[in-house]
C-alpha cells in the first residue's frame, strides 16, 4: 500500500465517516425533537395564559435589556416591553455608554429622575453613571441604568446586580416579544418539581417584513429578500429541531442572547456573563451547567418552541458575515474556556456528548466541510477520484441538507404554522433548495474567517447595522462594537488543552523521528563512503538522500502522530510509549534495511516476504553481523531512545507551528510526498540507490507485492487492454499456442529453427554437456568492453575460442530464476518457478528430455541445494545432486564470516568435487556446476593472493589511480571474481586432459549480475555473458544480438535433435524462442525478466525495455536510455499484459501441459 493510497483512503473514509456521523446526528435530532415538540404542545394546551397574566402569585421577573445607540427605536421598544403581560415585573434598560441621545430620549419620554440605589456589586462591572426611575407611576416597572461602555456582557452583569427578582430574562432591546412570552418562559422554572431549572431559552424568529406596530407584532410575513428568508428557514431548523432535541436530552449548550431566562442565584454564583468573549450567551449557559455538574446539583436547561421573540435578521452578506464570524469566535472562545469538559465523564452528558458534539459538529464542521470540499475538488481535478463520483457524493450531501430543511418546514407547518399566506411554504421550500448554493457556502466561509480572526486575536463584535423593524429605515447600531482587550494568548488555544498538548507532543516526537532517520542516513553515507569511496556526485547523493528521508518521515508521520493524538486523549503515558515503540521499530527496520543495502548494494524489497526463515537466516548470515554493527546499532538505539525521552520535554512548541506540522503531515501523506521525491534521483543507478530511502522502498515494494495482483488488473476499456486484445500471443512472442485457455504457455516448437548446428561438427555419439553457472558473473566486469574492466582473464580468452554472446541476459535478478530459465525456459508463476516447491507442475526441461534420451544429469554445488528449492526442481528432473552434504573431509570450506557463516565450498573445491565424481559417470552426461564464491561475503581461501592478483589486474588494465581507488572499495568482490575465473581456468585446463573432453560442450554463464558492485542501469542486473565452448566447434563467433537464459534450452535441444536425432518434443512450454546468432546488436525476443521473487516488473521486446511505467531504449552493450515513444510503450505494455494474463492463468491452474504430452 502506498502512503498516497493509505492517506487517500484515510482521508476519504475519514470524511465519509464524519459525514455519516453528522448525518446520523441530524437524523437523530430531527426525529428526537419532534417527540419533544409534540409533548410540549400537548402539555401547553392546558394552560390559559390570559388568566395567569395578572396573577399575584407568580414570581417576579427582571427583564434586562442592554442598549447601545438605540435612539431610533428605544422609546417604542421600551413601551413594547412594558406592555408585556406579567404582573410582577421590572424592566431594566442598561444604556451601555451610548454615544447618541438614547438616554435623554428615555428621560424625556418616561419622565425619569435620577435616584440613588445601593447596588450590591456581586459581579464586577464598569462604573455606573446613574440610575433612573420614572416619576410616572404607570412606568414604575422601568429602571434605566446609565453606565460606561463595557460591552453587552458587562451591561447584562450590571442588570444582574440591580435586578431585585429571582428570575432574569435577558433580551435584545430591539427584539419584539409576544405578549405572553414571559409567562411561557417562567413556566418551566415553576413546573419542575424534581430538579432545578437554571435557564430556559426561547425560539427566535425572523421579523423582517413582518407587520409591527407600537412594538407589537401584528402580522407575520415571510421575508421578501432571499437572505432573511433563508435565515428564517435556518432559524426554524435550528430552534424547532436542534434545540428541542438537545433540550429533551438536557444537553442544551446555547440559549440565544436575544431571549433567555435565567435563575439569578445561579448566574451570580457562576460570576455572571463573561466579558472576555463575544459568545457570552453560550458561555454563560456552559458555565452554569458546569457549575451545577461540579457541585452535583440536579438541574435542567429547558427550551420553549413557541415563537416568542422576533428579531431582525441581517439583510446583506456583509453584516451576515460579521454576525457569523462573531458566532464562530464566540463558539471557539467558549469551547476553549471549558475545554476541561471535553470527553470528561465527570460532566456526564455535558462532557461526553454536548461538548464533543459542539466541538466536532459545530466548531469543526465548517472547517472540515471547507477542507473536504477543497480537497475533493482537487482530487477530482487531479484525477484521483472521478468527477462522476464527486458529483454523486456532493449531490447526496446537498440533497440530504435539502431534505432536512423540508422536514423542518413540515414540522413548522404541523406545529406553529406561522407562514399561512398563500405560497409562503412553497417559497420557503424554494429557499431551502437554493440555500446550499447561495447561503451555506457563505456561512461556511464566514466561519472560516471567524477561525482566522480568532487566531489573529480579533475580539470585536463587529458593527451590525439594522434597518429597524418599525418601518423606519434609519440605520441603527444595536450591538456594542466594543473592543475587548484580550489577554495575550496562544494561537489555537480554543482547542481543549489536552488536544493542544497532544498535537505539540506529536510534533516534537515527529521531529525526533525525523532526526533519527537523518542520523541513520548520515551513518549510511559514512559507511558507504568508507566501503565504496565517495561517489563523484556525492553532494547530489546527500541532497537527494536527505530529501528522501525528510519526505519519507513526513509521509509516514501521520500514522504515529495521528494515533498518538487519539491515544493521548485517553492515556498520556500509553500514547508516549506507543510513539516511542512505533518509532523505534521504524528506525530499527530502517537501520536494518540500510545495513542490508550496505552489504548487498541492493535495496531490500518485498522479496523478503518470499524467503523462508531459513533462507533469510542464510542470507543474513552470509552478509555477516559484525560486532561493530551490533555495537553501533546498540549505541545508535540508545542515543535515539535518549532523544525520545529527553527532548520532547525540552522542546517548546508554538501551537501554530505544531498544527502547521500536523497539517503538513496530512498533506504530505495525501500527496504521497515520498513517491514524489523518490522519483528525483542523482542519476547513476548506484547513487540512486544510496540516496533512496530504504524504508520507503521496502514498504512500497511490500505494498505492491501484497496488492500486486489487484494492481495488475487492467480496466477492460483501457488502451492497454484494447491493444492486448488486438495483439495476439503469437504476435507478441512468435509462438503458435495450442490451448491458451488451459495451458497458456504450451506451443509448437519450430523444428526448423536450428541456429547452433552450423557452428558444430557432428560426432557419432551425443556430446556431454557441462554447464558452469558462475554466481554473480556480470558482463560489467567480464570480457572486452566491460565498463568496470574485465576481471575474468581466462573467460575472456576462452570466449575468443567460443561462441560468445556479449549482450546476453539472465532471466532473473537472483539465483532463484536460474535453473528453471536455463534448463526449462519456464514461466515464473507468482514468485518464481522454484517457489512452487512440491507443487511444481510437471514440465519439460533440457534435463528431463536429455534424460529420456539416455543422458544422466548431475548438479554440483558447494552449498546446500535446498536453498531456493533447487533440490526439488532437480529431483523432479531426475538430476543427481552433489551439494555440500556429499563433500568429504578433505575438501576445504570457504572461510567463515564474522557471524560464523559460510555458504559452503569454494569454486575450486566444487570443481574438484566435479572432477572427482564425473569420471565415474556413464556418458552421455549433462552436468551442471553452480559456483558460489562470488557471493556475499566474498570470502575465499587464499584471499591475500587474489587481492594481490586484483591489484595486478588493475595494473594490467591500465587503470588510473582514481579508478583503482574506486575499485578497491569492492576489492573482495573482484578478488572473488578472479578466484572464480582462476578456478574455471584450472578446471578447463584439467578437462583438456580428459578423454571425454573432445566430445563435450561447455556452457558458461552467470546466474545474474552481482549487485554488490554498483550497477549502472536497470538491465545491468541481468547482463551476463554466455560462452559456449567445445572442441566440437567449427569456429568461434561473437554475437551482438540479445538472447537470454530462456533461449538456451530450445537452442540446445534443437541442436541435439538435428545433429544427434534425439527425441525432442514438438510441443513445449519454452518461454524463449532460441538463441539469436546475429552478429550485430538486435533483439528479436519478447519476454519478461524477474528481478526479485515478488514482482515481474521488466519486459523486453525489440529494442525496448519496460521497467514498471518507465521505458528505455536498449543499445549495444546493453546501455539504456529513457524513451518516450508512446506507441512502442503501448506495444510493450500490451505484450507485458498479455504475458501477465498468461502467467496469471498458470498461477491459477498450476498446470503447464497435459500429462499425455510428457515424455515418459
Partner 1 sequence: MPGFLLTFFLTVDYYFFLNVIYVFLVLLFLLSIFISVFTIYKRRVERNKKLWQQSVAPVISEAIFYNDEEEERVDLLYISYKIEMLLKNSRFRQYIINELIQVKKTLSGSSNLNLNRLFEILDLDKDSFRKLNNMKWHIKAKGIQELGIMGQIKYAKEIFWLTNNAKEHVRNEAQSALVSFYGFSGLRFLDLTEYPISQWQQIQLLNKLHHVKPANFDALQKWLQSPNESVVIFSLKLATFYNCYDVYTNVIKCLQIASLQVKLNALEYLKKMPQEDTSEQIIHHYSFENKAYKLAVIHALKDIGSEKQIPFLLKKLHAKDDDIKAAAAKSLSYLHPLGNAFLQTHLFADEYPWQAIFLQITNERAA
Q: Which positions touch partner 1 (CB under 8 A)?
A: 13, 16-17, 42-43, 45-48, 50-52, 55, 57-59, 115-121, 187, 189-194, 265, 388-389, 392-393, 395-396, 399-400, 402-403, 406-407, 409-410, 413-414, 417, 425, 429
Which CB sits closer to partner 1, 187 or 814?
A: 187
Which CB sits closer to partner 1, 137 or 1122?
A: 137
Which CB sits closer to partner 1, 48 or 961?
A: 48
Which CB sits closer to partner 1, 352 or 429?
A: 429
Least Å from the CB of residue 191 to partner 1: 5
Collapse the DSSP code of 198 into the 3-class scheme (helix H, G, I; strand E, B; otherwise coil) and give the result.
strand
Which CB sits closer to partner 1, 45 or 958?
A: 45
Which CB sits closer to partner 1, 50 or 1063?
A: 50
Q: What is the CA radius of gyration of the chain?
A: 43
Q: Among the residues of 45-169, which ranges form H helices?
A: 49-52, 74-82, 102-110, 152-162
Which CB sits closer to partner 1, 116 or 960?
A: 116
Least Å from the CB of residue 178 to partner 1: 19
Which CB sits closer to partner 1, 20 or 577?
A: 20
Least Å from the CB of residue 8 to partner 1: 13
Q: Residues 80, 215: contact at Cβ < 8 Å?
A: yes
Q: Residues 1159, 844: contact at Cβ < 8 Å?
A: yes
The residues with which 1104 forms a beta bridge, in sequence order, are: 1101, 1113
Least Å from the CB of residue 130 to partner 1: 13
Which CB sits closer to partner 1, 414 or 842?
A: 414
Collapse the DSSP code of 1106 into the 3-class scheme (helix H, G, I; strand E, B; otherwise coil) and give the result.
strand
Least Å from the CB of residue 6 to partner 1: 13
Which CB sits closer to partner 1, 59 or 719?
A: 59
Which CB sits closer to partner 1, 406 or 651?
A: 406
Least Å from the CB of residue 192 to partner 1: 7
Least Å from the CB of residue 51 to partner 1: 6
Look at the block and give the residue holding cell 472576555: 276
By C-alpha distance, which of 837, 852, 753 is closest to 1075? Answer: 753
Q: Between the CA of residue 417 and those of 110, 240, 410, 413, 899, what are the distances in Å?
A: 37, 12, 9, 4, 87
CA pair distance 938, 895, nearest whole angstrom: 9
CA pair distance 983, 937, nearest whole angstrom: 18
Least Å from the CB of residue 283 to partner 1: 25
Look at the block and give the residue holding cell 494515533: 563
Beta-carbon contacts of residue 469 (< 8 Å; ≥ 6 apart): 73, 174, 176, 207, 210, 212, 310, 312
CA pair distance 651, 506, nearest whole angstrom: 11
Least Å from the CB of residue 309 to partner 1: 21
Which CB sits closer to partner 1, 414 or 585?
A: 414
DSSP states of 656-692 as a string?
A: HHHHHHHHHHHHHHHTTHHHHHHT---SSHHHHHHHS
Least Å from the CB of residue 400 to partner 1: 6
Q: Residues 1031, 1000: contact at Cβ < 8 Å?
A: yes
The residues with which 373 forms a beta bridge, in sequence order, are: none
Question: Which residues of 991-1079 form beta strands (DSSP E)?
Answer: 1000-1006, 1023-1029, 1037-1044, 1067-1068
b/e string for 320-343 if b means 16 or more Cβ within 10 A? bbbbbbbbbbbbbbbbbbbbebbb
By C-alpha distance, which of 1138, 1153, 1151 is closest to 733? Answer: 1138
Least Å from the CB of residue 232 to partner 1: 16
- How many helices (H) and strands (E) the chain has is answered by 40, 30
Least Å from the CB of residue 426 to partner 1: 9
CA pair distance 275, 297, nearest whole angstrom: 26
Which CB sits closer to partner 1, 87 or 1077?
A: 87
Which CB sits closer to partner 1, 393 or 669?
A: 393
Which CB sits closer to partner 1, 13 or 577?
A: 13
Retrieve residue 388's grid coordinates: 462522476
CA 405 to the chain's CA centroid: 36
Least Å from the CB of residue 117 to partner 1: 5
Least Å from the CB of residue 246 to partner 1: 22
The residues with which 1098 forms a beta bridge, in sequence order, are: 1089, 1107
Q: Between the CA of residue 1020 and those of 229, 359, 698, 723, 957, what are the distances in Å?
A: 73, 58, 21, 29, 21
Least Å from the CB of residue 138 to partner 1: 16
Which CB sits closer to partner 1, 403 or 1067?
A: 403
Least Å from the CB of residue 694 to partner 1: 30
Phi–psi pair at 795, nearest 5 degrees: -60, -35
Least Å from the CB of residue 28 to partner 1: 16
DSSP 760: B
CA pair distance 968, 951, nearest whole angstrom: 9
Which CB sits closer to partner 1, 429 or 546?
A: 429
DSSP states of 225-264 as a string?
A: SHHHHHHHHHHIIIIIIIIHHHHHHT------TTEEEEEH
Amino acid at each position: 500500500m502506498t502512503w498516497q493510497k493509505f492517506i487517500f483512503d484515510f482521508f476519504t473514509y475519514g470524511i465519509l465517516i464524519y459525514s455519516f456521523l453528522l448525518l446520523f446526528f441530524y437524523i437523530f435530532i430531527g426525529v428526537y425533537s419532534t417527540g419533544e415538540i409534540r409533548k410540549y404542545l400537548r402539555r401547553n394546551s392546558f394552560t390559559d395564559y390570559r388568566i395567569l397574566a395578572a396573577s399575584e402569585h407568580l414570581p417576579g421577573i427582571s427583564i434586562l435589556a442592554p442598549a447601545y445607540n438605540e435612539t431610533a427605536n428605544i422609546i417604542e421598544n421600551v413601551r413594547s416591553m412594558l406592555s408585556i403581560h406579567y404582573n410582577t415585573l421590572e424592566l431594566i434598560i442598561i444604556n451601555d455608554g451610548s454615544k447618541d441621545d438614547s438616554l435623554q430620549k428615555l428621560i424625556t419620554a418616561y419622565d425619569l429622575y435620577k435616584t440613588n440605589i445601593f447596588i450590591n456589586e456581586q459581579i464586577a462591572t464598569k462604573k455606573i453613571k446613574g440610575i433612573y426611575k420614572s416619576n410616572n407611576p404607570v412606568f414604575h416597572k422601568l429602571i434605566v441604568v446609565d453606565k460606561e461602555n463595557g460591552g453587552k456582557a458587562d451591561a447584562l452583569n450590571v442588570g444582574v446586580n440591580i435586578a431585585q427578582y429571582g428570575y432574569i430574562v435577558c433580551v435584545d432591546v430591539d427584539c419584539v416579544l409576544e405578549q405572553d412570552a414571559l409567562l411561557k418562559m417562567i413556566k418551566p422554572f415553576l413546573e419542575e418539581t424534581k430538579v432545578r431549572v437554571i435557564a430556559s431559552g426561547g425560539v427566535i424568529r425572523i421579523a423582517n417584513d413582518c407587520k409591527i406596530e407600537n412594538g407589537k407584532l401584528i402580522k407575520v410575513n415571510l421575508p421578501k429578500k432571499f437572505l432573511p428568508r433563508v435565515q428564517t428557514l435556518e432559524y426554524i431548523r435550528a430552534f424547532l429541531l436542534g434545540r428541542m432535541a438537545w433540550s429533551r436530552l438536557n444537553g442544551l449548550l446555547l440559549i440565544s442572547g436575544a431571549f433567555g431566562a435565567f435563575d439569578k442565584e445561579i448566574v451570580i454564583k457562576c460570576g455572571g456573563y463573561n466579558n472576555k468573549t463575544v459568545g457570552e450567551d453560550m458561555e454563560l449557559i456552559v458555565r452554569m451547567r458546569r457549575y451545577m455538574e461540579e457541585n452535583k446539583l440536579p438541574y435542567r436547561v429547558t427550551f420553549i418552541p413557541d415563537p416568542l421573540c422576533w428579531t431582525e435578521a441581517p439583510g446583506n452578506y456583509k453584516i451576515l458575515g460579521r454576525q457569523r464570524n462573531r458566532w464562530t469566535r464566540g463558539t471557539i472562545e467558549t469551547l476553549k474556556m471549558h475545554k476541561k469538559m471535553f470527553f470528561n465523564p465527570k460532566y456526564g452528558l455535558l462532557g461526553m456528548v454536548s461538548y464533543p458534539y459542539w466541538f466536532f459538529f459545530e466548531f469543526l464542521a465548517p472547517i472540515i466541510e471547507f477542507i473536504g470540499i477543497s480537497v475533493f475538488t482537487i482530487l477530482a481535478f487531479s484525477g484521483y477520484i472521478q468527477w462522476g463520483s464527486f458529483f454523486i457524493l456532493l449531490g447526496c450531501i446537498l440533497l440530504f441538507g435539502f431534505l432536512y430543511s423540508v422536514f423542518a418546514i413540515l414540522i413548522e407547518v404541523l406545529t406553529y404554522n406561522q407562514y399561512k399566506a398563500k405560497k409562503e411554504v412553497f417559497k420557503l421550500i424554494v429557499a431551502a433548495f437554493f440555500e446550499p448554493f447561495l447561503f451555506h457556502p457563505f456561512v461556511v466561509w464566514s466561519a472560516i474567517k471567524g477561525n482566522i480572526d480568532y487566531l489573529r486575536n480579533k475580539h470585536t463584535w463587529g458593527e451590525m447595522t439594522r434597518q429597524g423593524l418599525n418601518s423606519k429605515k434609519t440605520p441603527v447600531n444595536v450591538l456594542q462594537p466594543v473592543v475587548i482587550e484580550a489577554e495575550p494568548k496562544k494561537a489555537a488555544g480554543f482547542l481543549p488543552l489536552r488536544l493542544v498538548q497532544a498535537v505539540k507532543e506529536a510534533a516534537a516526537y515527529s521531529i525526533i523521528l525525523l532526526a533519527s532517520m537523518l542520523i541513520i542516513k548520515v551513518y549510511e553515507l559514512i559507511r558507504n563512503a568508507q566501503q565504496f569511496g565517495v561517489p563523484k556526485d556525492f553532494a547530489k547523493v546527500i541532497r537527494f538522500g536527505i530529501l528522501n528521508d525528510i519526505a519519507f518521515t513526513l509521509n509516514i508521520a501521520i500514522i504515529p502522530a495521528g494515533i498518538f493524538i487519539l491515544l493521548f486523549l485517553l492515556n498520556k503515558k500509553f500514547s508516549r510509549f506507543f510513539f516511542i515503540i512505533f518509532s523505534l521499530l521504524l528506525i530499527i527496520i530502517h537501520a536494518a534495511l540500510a545495513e542490508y543495502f550496505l552489504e548487498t548494494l541492493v535495496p531490500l524489497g518485498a522479496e523478503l516476504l518470499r524467503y523462508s526463515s531459513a533462507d533469510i537466516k542464510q542470507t543474513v548470515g552470509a552478509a555477516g553481523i559484525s560486532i561493530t554493527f551490533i555495537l553501533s546499532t546498540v549505541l545508535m538505539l540508545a542515543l535515539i531512545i535518549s532523544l525520545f525521552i529527553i527532548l520532547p520535554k525540552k522542546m517548546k512548541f508554538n501551537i501554530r507551528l505544531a498544527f502547521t506540522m500536523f497539517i503538513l503531515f496530512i498533506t504530505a501523506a495525501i500527496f504521497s510526498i515520498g513517491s514524489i521525491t523518490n522519483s528525483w534521483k542523482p542519476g547513476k543507478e548506484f547513487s540512486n540507490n544510496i540516496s533512496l530511502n530504504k524504508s520507503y522502498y521496502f514498504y512500497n515494494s511490500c505494498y505492491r507485492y501484497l496488492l500486486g495482483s489487484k494492481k495488475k488488473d487492467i480496466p477492460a476499456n483501457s488502451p492497454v487492454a484494447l491493444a492486448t486484445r488486438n495483439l495476439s500471443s503469437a504476435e507478441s512472442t512468435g509462438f503458435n499456442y495450442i490451448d491458451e485457455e488451459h495451458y497458456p504457455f504450451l506451443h509448437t516448437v519450430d523444428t526448423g529453427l536450428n541456429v547452433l548446428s552450423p557452428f558444430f561438427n557432428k560426432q557419432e555419439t551425443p556430446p556431454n554437456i557441462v554447464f558452469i553457472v558462475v554466481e554473480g558473473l556480470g558482463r560489467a566486469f567480464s570480457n572486452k568492453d566491460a565498463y568496470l574492466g574485465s576481471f575474468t582473464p581466462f573467460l575472456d580468452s576462452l570466449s575468443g575460442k567460443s561462441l560468445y554472446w556479449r549482450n546476453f541476459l539472465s532471466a532473473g535478478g537472483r539465483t532463484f530464476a536460474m535453473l528453471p530459465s536455463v534448463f526449462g525456459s519456464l514461466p515464473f508463476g507468482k514468485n518464481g518457478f522454484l517457489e512452487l516447491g512440491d507443487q511444481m507442475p510437471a514440465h519439460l526441461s533440457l534435463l528431463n528430455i536429455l534424460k529420456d534420451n539416455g543422458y544422466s544429469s548431475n548438479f554440483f554445488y558447494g552449498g546446500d541445494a535446498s536453498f531456493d528449492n533447487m533440490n526439488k526442481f532437480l529431483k523432479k528432473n531426475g538430476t543427481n545432486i552433489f551439494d555440500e552434504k556429499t563433500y568429504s573431509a578433505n575438501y576445504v570450506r570457504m572461510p567463515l564470516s564474522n557471524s560464523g557463516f559460510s555458504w559452503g565450498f569454494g569454486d575450486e573445491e566444487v570443481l574438484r568435487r566435479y572432477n572427482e565424481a564425473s569420471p565415474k559417470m556413464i556418458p552421455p552426461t549433462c552436468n551442471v556446476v553452480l559456483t558460489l564464491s562470488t557471493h556475499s561475503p566474498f570470502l575465499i581461501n587464499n584471499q591475500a593472493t587474489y587481492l594481490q592478483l586484483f591489484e595486478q589486474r588493475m595494473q594490467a588494465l591500465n587503470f588510473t589511480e582514481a579508478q583503482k581507488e574506486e575499485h578497491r572499495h569492492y576489492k573482495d568482490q573482484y578478488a572473488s571474481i578472479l578466484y572464480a575465473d582462476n578456478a574455471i581456468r584450472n578446471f578447463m585446463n584439467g578437462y583438456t586432459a580428459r578423454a571425454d573432453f573432445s566430445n563435450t560442450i561447455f556452457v558458461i554463464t552467470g546466474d545474474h549480475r552481482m549487485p554488490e558492485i554498483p550497477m549502472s542501469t536497470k538491465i545491468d542486473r541481468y547482463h551476463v555473458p554466455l560462452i559456449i565452448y567445445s572442441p566440437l566447434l567449427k569456429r568461434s563467433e561473437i554475437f551482438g544480438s540479445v538472447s537470454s537464459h530462456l533461449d538456451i534450452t530450445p537452442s540446445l535441444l534443437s541442436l541435439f535433435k538435428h545433429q544427434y536425432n534425439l527425441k525432442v518434443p514438438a510441443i513445449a512450454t519454452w518461454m524463449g524462442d532460441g538463441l539469436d546468432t546475429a552478429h550485430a546488436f538486435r533483439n528479436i525476443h519478447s519476454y519478461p525478466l524477474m528481478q526479485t521473487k515478488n514482482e515481474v516488473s521488466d519486459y523486453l521486446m525489440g529494442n525496448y525495455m519496460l521497467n514498471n511505467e518507465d521505458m528505455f531504449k536498449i543499445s549495444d552493450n546493453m546501455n539504456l536510455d529513457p524513451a518516450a515513444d508512446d506507441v512502442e510503450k503501448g506495444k510493450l505494455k500490451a505484450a507485458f499484459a498479455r504475458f501477465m494474463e498468461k502467467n496469471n492463468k498458470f498461477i491459477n491452474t498450476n498446470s503447464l501441459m497435459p500429462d499425455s504430452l510428457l515424455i515418459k
